[in-house]
Amino acid sequence: MSSTEEDINPYELIGVGLEATEGEIKTAYRQRSLKVHPDRNRGNPDAARKFHELNQAYELLLDPLRRMALDAKLRLKEARKTRFATFDAKRKGLVSELEEREQAFKKAKLEKEEKQKETWRENERIMEEGRILREEREKELLRREMEAEERERKKREAERTEFEPPALGTLDTTIRLKYPLSSQPALTTASSICSLLSSFGAVDSDDIVISLKPAPPKKAKRGIALVPFKQVGDAFGAVCASGREGMGLKDVEVSWAEGKEPELIVWLKKIGKLGSAKPRSPTPASSATGDKSTKPTKDDDSAYSSFPSTFPDLSTPLSQTTTSSVAGLDYESITLMRLRQAERERLEREILEQEAQES
């Protein structure tokens, strides 16, 4: 009953004084309870609360120890009230001022503590933001270092691979000839084609594939041939001389069998290893193609490009061919692959399919 002890005087609630006996308290309680009982005050919403407070006051006054503590508190309060009433106005003012100072001191102390807490929270926030910024900066520096290392690695790899020769393809030494039979009537056999191209280098005559297309209406009959050279440089020279009358290739279109330059040619051009050189003098057999010239003109010198002398001659027996002259290029394997009959059949099939599409 802390609220009754602090706010309500049990003696006043029951209606007795401090010197009342236990019998007087009981009598006063019965009289008072009859008045505030909830059954007699049905329309009063505070009736139950008042009756409860009356019971608590009654129980407190009947407890000797609790009543003794209550009496001491009431007497002390009354004595303090009496003593304060005797103070003059000046002393009352001093006491009030002292109390105000104490309240102001407590308030200032609380404000200082709150300010210190706010400062501490702000410092923590700044430290946390600094930590986050530091971590982000470290991550950014690490990312930049990794990107720089990756760029450097790619640069080194590009510089390394730039000077590494690519592997030869199966058709890198094979060229395609297209010519009208009206101007080149002799190019119907492998031997005639070998004679025509002998000025460029050795040719695998056994693997030459020739297709003679029938003459469509109002169009000249023409031939198509796939000619494998033994050296890539010789094939490149023939492609460069496409259509040149001075080399006996009048009306003869020379191109790569795959329709594009081999990767090896592209690589040699990139590193500057393809320089102009005078071609071999054509043999008299070239006159069989209908071209009476036996030597290239001065203007035809630029039609050829020389390969490095380190390229092996594939015309030599396979047992004598080595791959040590050019690192990374297996010329023995390329020669064997080119000699396979399956490759020849595939080339023949491609020619037939192309003829079917064109017709």
Q: What is the pLDDT of residues 295-350, one digit of tens each?
A: 344 344 443 444 444 444 434 433 343 333 333 334 454 455 555 566 666 777 88
Record the tokens describing residue 145, joined without a space.
């270092």
* CATH number for the segment(s) 174-358: 3.30.70.330
pLDDT for residue 151 is more than 70: yes
Record the tokens describing residue 68, joined without a space.
């003794």
Give the architecture-level CATH label for domain 2-86.
Orthogonal Bundle (1.10)
DSSP letter at 332? H
Contacts 24+ apart (CB under 8 A), 144-147: none
Angle value at C-alpha 233, between 159 and 169, nearest 5 degrees: 65
Angle value at C-alpha 26, between 22 and 32, nearest 5 degrees: 140
- Give Cα 207 to chain centroid, integer Å: 51
Residue whose C-alpha is closest to residue 176's, from 348, 359, 305, 356: 348
| Domains of the chain by residue range | 2-86, 174-358
Angle value at C-alpha 354, between 353 and 359, nearest 5 degrees: 100
Question: Do the domains 174-358 and 2-86 match in fold?
Answer: no
Maximum distance among all Cα pairs of the chain, rounded to whole angstroms: 159
Q: What is the pLDDT of residues 4-40, one digit of tens each?
A: 445 678 998 888 988 889 899 999 999 988 888 888 8
Q: What is the pLDDT of residues 265-297, one digit of tens each?
A: 887 777 766 644 334 444 443 333 334 333 344
Q: What is the pLDDT of residue 160?
A: 67
> Which pLDDT band, with edges at 50, 70 and 90, does 223 fall under?
confident
Compute, in degrees rounded to 10, the torsion defined by CA atoms 264, 270, 272, 273.
-10
Q: What is the pLDDT of residue 79?
A: 86
> Which pLDDT band, with edges at 50, 70 and 90, does 197 fall under?
confident
Record the tokens describing residue 136, joined without a space.
């982000």
Beta strands in 7-47 (DSSP E): none
